[in-house]
Chain A
Amino acid sequence: MAGVVVFVISTVIVLAGALGVILYRNPVHAALSLIASFFGVAIMFISQGAHFLALVQIVVYGGAIVVLFLFVIMLLGVDREEDISEEPFEGQRVSALLSGVMIFAMLMGGIFLSGRTGDEAGDYGQAAITGSTGQVVPLTEEEDVVQLGHDLFTRNILAFEATGLLLTIATVGAVVLVRNRGAEDLVVDEPGTASR
């Protein structure tokens, strides 16, 4: 019962945040909604017993990544409300709608084809995403972290290193892009005043 209450509350937070991201005109408000959405996901992780993942979710996504978003928004002074009645790219909306429908269909298919409806607390999503009907072994927190680390650094070491390399390349790329010669200096602009 308590699981259902937590699930409903966190779902409301996640969905409200997600709607806020696409409906707010102001990029800063949208970024704030994104944080709310990440928080809802973190609550879901905790209710599933994945404390480590929940905190990593907040540290990495809620903390670092959205801070960077906001930093860029503020530094570039693009924090004014935008006119979105025209499509930025042609066909963008149609393809976004199409992929949204497809992802929705995949998730629904996963839930109904897996034959598990999640009637027990703690069952939500597990079978739905993976489609597996096998027994999920519950872990304690310490085992969770230790197993995660062990798996990451032994079985998936290649993927781990590749990700590291990818991030390094991205960093170098960003530096190269920023340091193109003759570019004008960045101007710190005043916040959202143009449209008001």
Chain B
Amino acid sequence: MGGHPFLRDGVDFGDVLLVLGIVLISFVLCLIATMLMVWFERKVVSRLQNRIGPNIAGPFGLFQTLADGIKLFFKEDLIPERADRKVFQLAPYLSLIPAFLTFTLVPIAGDFSNVSESGTAGSSTIFGREFLWQGADIPSGILFFLAMSSLGIYGIMLAGWSSGSKYPLLGSVRASAQAISYEAALGLSIAAVILVSGALSTNEIVQAQSGSLRQLNIVATGFVPFIVFLLAGTAELNRPPFDLVEAEQEIVGGYHTEYSSIRFALFFLAEFMNTVTMGGLIVTLFLGGPAPLFDFPFIDIMPTLGWFGGFVLFFGKLLIFLFIFVWFRATLPRLRYDQLMDLGWKALIPVSLLWLIVLGGIRIAQNGDLNIFDSTNANVALVLVASLVLGAVGWALLRAAMDTARDERLKEAGLHLTPVPAPAAQNAHAVSSTEGAGH
């Protein structure tokens, strides 16, 4: 890779125009996708709950979101008296801008079976200029996603804090705790992808996966990072079942309780934009983005279709994940706070850490840097056995630590675990069921 196609032989006016065009088009695309996502979610959730959903405005109720948006624009814009005015006004943009910037990372189309003369795959040419089907192919691109998702939290945190009222503050404290907890698992599963693909830019990650089913990262990383990413990603989006941030039964609307009108619309937009982007990133990282899942056995169809084939493939894969997100929301009850923390810290982080070590070990064995046995397979097997033992020891240590901590807490509360008399058993249970509250 010799850097971005635009920068190869100097920048001229045409390049600037093209970049502006791409940015504008991806912004519009992003907005339209977000609008459709809102409609899709409402429609699917309705169907899953035996309702019909929006069906009046436009065909199939497609324009309902537009109507809601226009209504929000014309509502009165309120700022609470006790709010920190500047931060209150800043917060929606801190939420929206990172959401949009992340979208630029996702390659949405392109023919990845075809590597152009300059060594870039998935590019097309317009007016003699080569470009990629994504807003920007940033070097170390996937880190940019982590950077933006950690900045997106500020929007939520500051919105809750600056509102100057109780429930939003509770929501934003929850949001930051949740984001900090799940970012580690998210980062570790991305690290597994980087390790296998050997690249940081999203274009190269897709390129590394195009070809066969075995090269897809979902297979090549062994499925576990994919599951971790899906769960941690859902938590990062604050979507159900991880939506404690805006749990309406407990804290009204969480961080956006005090927001109305266009500012609320911006938060809403950012949330759904993030959902679409997260779906797109899962497709990019694990399912080869616009590249086909496997070689079509009889006809070589991709070069004929060009970039459009890539777009259809990407969109199809994206739709699956968007449906999964909606499905999660319609089926799973919200997690309790201690369950949320347990899942993040005691399950996802240890599992993804162990998996990263296993993948690294296998890679070293395959590269021939580990020469204990003569055959590569034996070395890989050795790595696997060693990692299993390591994992077992680690798990035992974690369990021991958790049990000790629990015993300590019970002792502090004046209760003893063994032997448990009948009436005290109920108490002990009550304590242990709220044990996560102290985390």
Contacts and interface: CB of A to CB of B under 8 A. Distances in A.
A142 interface: yes
B158 A28 contact: yes
B412 A58 contact: no
Nearest to B83: A191
Most buried by A among B150, B166, B412: B150
Contact of B140 (A51, A67, A71, A191): A51
A52 interface: yes
Nearest to B437: A185
Q: Is the interface of B mostly helix, strand, loop or mixed?
A: helix
Interface in A143-195: 145, 181, 188, 190-193
Nearest to A55: B143
A59 B154 contact: no
B10 to A, nearest CB: 12
B206 interface: no
B82 A71 contact: no
Contact of B176 (A67, A141, A193): A67
Interface stretch (B29-37, B167-175, B212-220): B167-175
Q: Is the interface of A mostly helix, strand, loop or mixed?
A: helix
Given A62-B147, A71-B173, A79-B161, A145 B154 contact: no
B407 interface: no
Nearest to B412: A181
Contact of A55 (B82, B144, B162, B173): B144
A32 B172 CA distance: 16
B169 A191 contact: yes
B143 A59 contact: yes
B164 A190 contact: yes
Interface string A66-80: 011011001100010
A181 B412 CA distance: 8
A25 interface: no
Contacts of B140: 51-52, 55, 141, 145
Contacts of A191: 84, 161-162, 164, 169
Contact of B151 (A28, A58, A145, A196): A58
A26 B154 CA distance: 17
A68 B164 contact: no
A63 B147 contact: yes
Contact of B169 (A51, A59, A188): A188
A55 B84 contact: no
A71 B180 contact: yes
Contacts of B172: 74
Contact of A29 (B87, B177, B179, B412): B87
Interface in A74-115: 74-75, 79
B84 A193 contact: no
A128 interface: no
Interface string A33-60: 0010000000000000001100110110
Contacts of A28: 84, 87, 158, 161
A63 B161 contact: no
Nearest to B86: A29
A64 interface: yes
B164 A32 contact: no
A52 B1 CA distance: 16
B415 interface: no
B41 interface: no
Given A62-B150, A74-B172, A68 B180 contact: yes
A141 B82 CA distance: 48
A58 B179 CA distance: 15
B161 A74 contact: yes
Contacts of A55: 140, 143-144, 146-147
Contacts of A70: 154, 157-158, 161, 176
A145 B197 CA distance: 14
B157 to A, nearest CB: 6
A34 to B, nearest CB: 12
A140 B172 CA distance: 40
- Please give me the 8 A-B residue pairs with the lowest Cβ-Cβ distance, nearest first: A63-B150, A141-B139, A55-B143, A58-B147, A51-B139, A71-B176, A59-B147, A52-B140
Interface of A: 26, 28-29, 32, 35, 51-52, 55-56, 58-59, 62-64, 67-68, 70-71, 74-75, 79, 140-142, 145, 181, 188, 190-193, 196
6 contacts: A55-B146, A58-B147, A64-B150, A64-B183, A67-B150, A145-B140
